[in-house]
Chains A and B, each alone.
Chain A
Amino acid sequence: MIQIFRNPNYNFIGNRRWAYMLSGLITLIGIVSLVTQGLRYDIDFTGGTLVQVRFEKIPTVADIRKALGRIGMGESIIQEFGRSNEFIIRAPLTSTSSEELTKKVERALTEEPGLGKAEIRRVEFVGPQVGKELQWQAIYAVVFGLIGILLYIALRFDLKGGVAAVMAVFHDVIVCLGAMSLMHREFSLPVLAALLTIIGYSVNDTIVAYDRLRENRGKTTVRGRPFAEQMNDAVNQTLSRTVLTALTVFLSTAILLFFGGKTLEDFAFVLFVGVITGTYSTTYVAAALVVDWTLYVEGRLGARKKRLAKGGEARKIT
């Protein structure tokens, strides 16, 4: 029997202060990058036209830009896509229809002497109305996703757990978006799908830990142990599962990222980052916050009991 951990008993929860600092630092970097560099949105959200072209010969970006300049589209974003003879051209919304635009682009490219034969492989056009709607769709999806998770956990477990889990998920979303901003990746509809998957994955992981904690609390051996230790036990007991699952999901997404092709790259990137942060946040955001919250509540209860006890004595005296 291969085993990664034999009765693990690491002090995860005890080290949570360090983890808070790490999480704080990473989210801060993410937020700073999001604020300063922003996120690059795909035409799904901004509206615009995207044309994917494959050339017979390998062209230079300058040649393509020259050709596009002739039809007044020299300002378009031109990116190599997957291989050296394939490019994506992105144009902002204009008054010309996508049809006219595609025709114009195709003609301009085929007529540029340095370029050789060009094949239009994909055209995507998103009108301003649809772009707006998709933006809202994205925001709704994330917000309702978080609310759904909060409600579900609050009902199945408790409010503390729900809030902490949502905080953990929120942390993961910021980290993923921050990583995308840092790596200049593009936020598109499939990326949104990936982000929501990570929300699901992260919460899945958190629930496994909560579930274990709840199960243990029913056992007599655990009663009377400090809450932090109970949580630490739960994390340790589910550790081998956590690591095994994270490893397999990580492997799957890594394969998607490296072999899934250019179209899947941004999508897989978010999953890749998300699996790591989702696994981490279970222990160091969700579980840690539940512990500190519980300690805080217990502390206040204790203080009140003391005060009450003192007050009682004082009343006796008078």
Chain B
Amino acid sequence: MPRNLRTRIIIVLVVLLGSLWYLYPPKKAINLGLDLQGGIHLVLGVETDKHVANQSDRAAEDFAAALERRGIAHRRVARDGLAAFVVELAAPQSWNDAITVANEFQTFERSNDDQAAGRFRMTMSARVQRQVREDAAKQVLEKLRNRIDKFNVAEPTIARQGEDRILIQLPGIQDIQRAKDLIGKTGYLEFRLVERFVEGGDAEALARQLGPEVEILPRRVVDPNTKTDRLVPYVVVQKRPLLTGSALTSANVAADPNSPGNWQVTVTFNEAGRQRFAEVTEQNVGRSLAIVLDGVVSSAPRINERIPGGNAVITGRFTIQEAQDLKIVLNEGALPATVQILEERTVGPSLGADSIRQGMIAIVASGVVVVLFMLAYYRLSGLIADVALILNLIILLACMAAFGATLTLPGIAGIALTIGMAVDTNILIFERIREELRIGKTVRASIDAGFHRAFRTIIDTHATVMATALILWIFGSGPVAGFAVSLGTGLAASLFTAYFFTRLLFDVIYMGRRKVETVSI
């Protein structure tokens, strides 16, 4: 079968060269997992529920405003549940007018009509709710991507997982804390009027007496003894912000003149924001205005006069880096919904280097032992198996490079295991050939029969283990999936090398024209 032989040589060469092509240059070809080079793996949950609730709140406010515009008196317009609000009219006579308003709110569906009491309920339609959630997750993803882009990470992974989850992987990052701060911050900036400052420890008692329009917000206080910071109730502020971060055009970093060595962030408003700011300051001279970032008061300066210029300063004893990161967050705009860390795996770079070294030692050692064992037991055939094993590894790594798969520590273990499986394949074949030789067949017939018989078994064994690898890949995530990928590709490579490559070498050595009396096996 010379023609057949040539085709097979070409196939093997193509695979080998293709693999080497993918593996060049080796440093860049294979993505090392976070456990191997250090970095951050985060799974964030986008709180889409909150976003839906916020949207309903806003709709309720809009509805109340619309009623007022038409001169329809109402007793109450308030959110009820996650995605609905209840409208109670002051007088049932204005029912028809109110219904006209309700019909303008097309994203909400009216229900629970009680005309006598002048009460009905508006519920966000399921389709709109889905859309709102989808938009929230999408926008969060987009904003996070922009923030991370500014952070200069070599190869970040930022991806949606399911409906409301975002996976972020930042390999090789050194300053883990900083990256987490940058990602986790919602960046929601508000300006709220202060009703009064909280004095001493009466915060809880105070909270009980407060009306629905106001709430207590904390500020961050650094304990001079322990150097730890904690949140302390600080001011009573109006719930409704006078101005939010959406009204700013840019944020910049400047040295804090009042506290040497610290930095502050100045924000500039857009035209509408400037006007509003001027108005607000004019109307409230003498009162204090709290600058609130993500629910924590950064400062609450007194308004001394109307401020027409439209600049505000956020102070907070920032280091230059913290100030710069806050600038990035403010410039990119707030996340439309808050995020929560559901899963975190961070590996410092030094640990990554340690584990890769140990893993490599183990894999090399197990490889060497197996190679020597095969050589001693099967002689020339063992050598063939060893060469096949090396080819197997090359193909496996090349496949991983080609898929852009990530090599993790369990992945390395998966490779070590594949070595075992690949060896098993060769042992199956060789033992079969030996058996055929023992019953007195010629060398060529034995090789033929041995390969033929063994191959059926090999297909079955590979198929079942492949099935488990597939199940691991489907149901696993992170490290388990990494293991499954290297196991699966390893099995495929082992199948290929055993049948194409090992067979080919046997054919080249023993199936030539000359007579063959013995086989080294």
Contact = CB atoms under 8 A, between A and B. Distances in A.
Interface string B345-379: 11110110011001101100110011001101101
A121 interface: yes
B471 A145 contact: yes
Nearest to A209: B457
B453 A215 contact: yes
B300 interface: no
Interface stretch (A72-80, A253-261, A288-296): A253-261
Contacts of B410: 189-190, 193, 267
Given A119-B350, A127-B342, A197 B366 contact: no
The 5 closest A-B pairs by CB, nearest first: A261-B358, A200-B465, A249-B420, A125-B344, A260-B362
Contact of A122 (B351, B421, B427, B460): B351
Contacts of A263: 35, 355, 358, 409
Contacts of A271: 417
Interface in B424-465: 424, 427-428, 431, 434-435, 438, 453, 456-457, 460-461, 463-465
B202 interface: no
A197 B343 contact: no
Contacts of A318: none
Interface of B: 35, 43, 45, 176-177, 180-181, 184, 226-228, 340-348, 350-351, 354-355, 358-359, 361-362, 365-366, 369-370, 373-374, 376-377, 379, 409-410, 413-414, 416-417, 419-421, 423-424, 427-428, 431, 434-435, 438, 453, 456-457, 460-461, 463-465, 467-469, 471-472, 475-480, 483-484, 487, 521
Contacts of B43: 130
Interface residues of A, number: 75
A248 B370 contact: yes
Interface stretch (A32-40, A56-64, A96-104): A96-104
A98 B424 contact: no
A150 to B, nearest CB: 11
B424 A141 contact: no
Interface string A61-105: 000000000000000000000000000000000000111001110
Contact of B362 (A103, A121, A212, A256): A256
A132 to B, nearest CB: 11
A307 interface: no
Interface of A: 1-3, 7, 52, 54, 97-99, 102-104, 107, 111, 119-127, 129-130, 134, 137, 140-141, 144-145, 148-149, 152-153, 156, 189-190, 192-194, 196-197, 199-201, 203-204, 207-208, 211-212, 215, 237-238, 240-241, 244-245, 247-249, 251-253, 255-256, 259-261, 263-264, 267-268, 271
Contact of A252 (B343, B416, B475): B416
A268 B465 contact: no
A148 B355 contact: no
Contacts of A200: 464-465, 468-469
A317 B328 CA distance: 103
Contacts of B431: 238, 240-241, 244
B478 to A, nearest CB: 7
B457 A211 contact: yes
Contact of A197 (B184, B468, B475): B468
B428 A208 contact: yes
B475 A140 contact: yes
Given A52-B351, A263-B355, A148 B460 contact: no
25 contacts: A98-B341, A122-B347, A122-B351, A126-B344, A127-B340, A141-B471, A145-B468, A190-B413, A193-B476, A197-B483, A197-B487, A204-B424, A204-B464, A204-B465, A211-B460, A244-B377, A244-B427, A248-B370, A252-B419, A255-B366, A259-B358, A259-B362, A260-B362, A264-B359, A264-B362
Contacts of B362: 255-256, 259-261, 264
A111 B341 CA distance: 27
Contacts, number: 221
A313 B350 CA distance: 87
A248 B418 CA distance: 12
Contact of B346 (A119, A122, A264): A122
B369 A130 contact: no
B351 A192 contact: no
A252 B351 contact: no
B464 A149 contact: yes
Contacts of A1: 379, 434, 521
A67 B177 CA distance: 22
Nearest to A147: B471
A201 B465 CA distance: 7
A103 to B, nearest CB: 8
Contacts of B35: 263
Contact of B424 (A129, A192, A248): A248
Contacts of B471: 141, 144-145, 148, 196
B174 to A, nearest CB: 13
Interface hub of A137, A196, A199, A253 (most chain B Cβ within 10 A): A196
A148 B467 contact: yes
Contacts of B435: 237
Nearest to B367: A252
B260 to A, nearest CB: 25
Given A141-B471, A152-B463, A263-B409, A241 B416 contact: no
Nearest to B42: A125
A22 B296 CA distance: 65
A119 B413 contact: no
A190 B460 contact: no
Given A190-B409, A241-B428, A255-B366, 11 more contacts: A1-B434, A2-B377, A3-B434, A54-B350, A97-B341, A99-B180, A124-B344, A190-B413, A193-B476, A194-B413, A260-B358
Interface hub of A123, A253, A268 (most chain B Cβ within 10 A): A123
A98 B345 CA distance: 10
Contacts of A121: 347-348, 350-351
Nearest to A70: B226
A208 to B, nearest CB: 6
Contact of A123 (B345, B417, B460, B483): B345
B510 to A, nearest CB: 16
A120 B346 CA distance: 10
A169 B449 CA distance: 31
A268 to B, nearest CB: 7
Contact of B342 (A130, A141, A261): A130
A137 B343 contact: no
Contacts of B460: 156, 207, 211
B480 A193 contact: yes
B480 A190 contact: yes
Contacts of B427: 241, 244-245, 248
Given A99-B184, A259-B358, A267 B343 contact: no
